[in-house]
Amino acid sequence: MWAIFAVISYFLLALLIPIAWSLGNVWRRTRGVQAVTCPGDGEPALLSLDPGHAIRMHLRGDAELRVLECSQWPELGGCARQCLTQIAVTH
């Protein structure tokens, strides 16, 4: 009986380790401050992204990012967030 549990456990680990590795990479790429050029005025800007949102979108197969803070806000707060195209988060 214990052999069946061991085989099932190894199978689950074989599935969970690559998933955890992939989600960890997305989290590492989206945490912290990202330096970009603001498309609105051409000035440098610092972005803080939402790693939790990036992980949820990655699980759905989407590469959508969400900005938490920007150094250009509140002056340019109503922007279309076109600066996110400068940040590459690949699957």
Using one digit for the tens of pLDDT, what is the confidence trace for 37-64?
888 888 898 999 999 999 999 999 888 8
**What DSSP state is assigned to residue 84?**
G
* Cα 17 to Cα 30: distance, rounded to the nearest angstrom: 20
**The sheet that has 44-49: what strands, in order across it?**
33-37, 44-49, 67-70
Cβ neighbours, 10 Å, residue 43: 10
pTM: 0.72
> What is the SS3 assignment for 4?
helix
pLDDT of residue 21 exceeding 80: yes
